[in-house]
């Protein structure tokens, strides 16, 4: 009896499957970071299967390319990169070794997400080694401005629509929904940080220019003497003097740096050390692109409240 019921249910299931048009397999999307993966999921929904290579708690400049990365990249229909030389130390060999013609730079399955965003700190004049690890095509940490997140999502919508034209309306609708939710959240974030406009802060690496610019905060110095160069005693002393002169009470640090120097600076200046998530996955709570800002804005606002008394 039980068997009979089961076979009837199975037969009904088969009939249903046969009656519906065969759904195309989801596009295989590989992204270099979890921020890009989150945006690709927002736009792609169930028509994409997304894997991120770097984790959000890793320094995205230096990522150990695991053997599993090659397999993912070799099978990808679409590779989305941050660009602006962020992944220059680890992505090109992966792409070369993948033997996947589609996802080579310039290929139909390659998207450099930086092409349509607002880029800060584009250097003028000649770049020398003495400048540290300066990115010649500008600061690559641009995803930390929600307006750039919107532009990146639009670029992903266009690329997915190119690769799967039958789903273009679906991607357009998903993008519109993300755009609406992001705009609503932005109003909230702007209001939360509005009282602290113009407050001076220090950050460890130059990860935050787009973020601080968006919310009106003023970065007056860095724990790193130059991008990618570890703290030095003389730079640290200069920074302490400058922070005392300007009354800076907040040092923002990415989760992958040692807190030793920031804490030493804090103890000399009465500043607070605040670890923020620079990427989705940088902490458990920053599970997607909107939650990343939700997390950082909340933490930053309470630290700024303590620092300014506002
Ligand atoms: Zn950087």
- 15-45 pLDDT, tens digit per residue, is 444 545 566 899 999 999 999 999 999 999 9
Side-chain half-sphere exposure of 60, counting CA atoms within 13 A? 32
Distance 250 CA to ligand 1 centre (A): 20
pLDDT on residue 8? 46
Residue 124's alpha-carbon distances to 136, 141, 161, 220, 225, in angstroms, are: 9, 18, 36, 20, 20
**Mean pLDDT in the chain?**
92
How far, in whole angstroms, is CA 1 from its chain's centroid? 55
296: closest CA among 266, 265, 270, 274?
274
- 34's enclosing H/E stretch is helix 34-44
Distance 17 CA to ligand 1 centre (A): 49
Distance 108 CA to ligand 1 centre (A): 28
pLDDT on residue 276? 98
pLDDT on residue 130? 75
Q: Is-above-0.85 flag for pTM? A: yes
Q: In the numeric block, which tokens belong to residue 163?
A: 């690769």
Residues 79 and 28: beta-carbon distance below 8 Å: no
Please give the Cα distance from 290 to 187 (Å, whole number): 12
Residues 292 and 35: beta-carbon distance below 8 Å: yes
DSSP assigned state of 24: P
Distance 135 CA to ligand 1 centre (A): 8
Distance 282 CA to ligand 1 centre (A): 15
Distance 101 CA to ligand 1 centre (A): 29
Please give the Cα distance from 31 to 38 (Å, whole number): 9
Q: Locate all alpha helices (DSSP H) within 98-224, ordered by sequence.
A: 146-163, 168-193, 209-215
Q: Which regions of the chain are under pLDDT 70?
A: 1-23, 133
pLDDT on residue 1? 41
224: closest CA among 250, 251, 206?
206
pLDDT on residue 6? 47
Phi, psi for 110 (deg, rounded to 5): -125, 130
Distance 284 CA to ligand 1 centre (A): 22
- 7's enclosing H/E stretch is helix 2-19
Q: In the numeric block, which tokens belong to residue 73?
A: 């990249």
214: closest CA among 124, 151, 154, 155?
151
pLDDT on residue 123? 84
pLDDT on residue 20? 52
Please give the Cα distance from 165 to 148 (Å, whole number): 25
Q: In the numeric block, which tokens belong to residue 282?
A: 């940088």
Partners of residue 222 on adjacent β-strands: 203
Distance 61 CA to ligand 1 centre (A): 7
248: closest CA among 202, 212, 281, 289?
202
DSSP assigned state of 101: G
């Amino acid at each position: 009896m039980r068997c009979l019921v089961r076979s009837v249910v199975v037969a009904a299931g088969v009939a249903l499957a046969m009656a519906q048009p065969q759904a195309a397999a989801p596009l295989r999307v590989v992204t270099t970071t979890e921020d890009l993966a989150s945006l690709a999921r927002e736009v792609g929904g169930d028509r994409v299967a997304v894997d991120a290579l770097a984790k959000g708690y890793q320094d995205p400049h230096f990522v150990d390319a695991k053997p599993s990365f090659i397999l993912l990249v070799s099978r990808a229909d679409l590779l989305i990169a941050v660009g602006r030389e962020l992944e220059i130390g680890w992505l090109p060999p992966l792409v070369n070794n993948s033997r996947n013609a589609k996802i080579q730079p310039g290929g139909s399955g390659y998207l450099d997400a930086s092409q349509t965003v607002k880029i800060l700190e584009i250097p003028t004049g000649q770049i020398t080694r003495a400048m540290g690890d300066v990115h010649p095509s500008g600061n690559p940490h641009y995803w930390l401005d929600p307006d750039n997140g919107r532009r990146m999502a639009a670029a992903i919508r266009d690329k997915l629509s190119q690769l799967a034209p039958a789903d273009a309306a679906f991607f357009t609708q998903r993008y519109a929904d993300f755009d609406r939710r992001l705009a609503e959240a932005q109003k909230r974030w702007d209001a939360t940080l509005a009282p602290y406009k113009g407050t001076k802060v220090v950050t460890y690496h130059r990860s935050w220019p787009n973020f601080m610019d968006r919310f009106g905060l003023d970065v007056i110095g860095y724990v790193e003497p130059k991008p990618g160069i570890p703290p030095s005693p003389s730079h640290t002393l200069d920074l302490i003097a400058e922070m005392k002169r300007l009354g800076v009470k907040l040092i923002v640090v990415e989760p992958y740096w040692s807190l030793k120097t920031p804490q030493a600076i804090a103890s000399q200046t009465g500043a607070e050390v605040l670890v923020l998530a620079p990427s989705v996955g940088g902490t458990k709570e920053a599970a997607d692109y909107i939650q990343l800002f939700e997390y950082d804005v909340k933490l930053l606002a309470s630290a700024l409240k303590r620092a300014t008394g506002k």
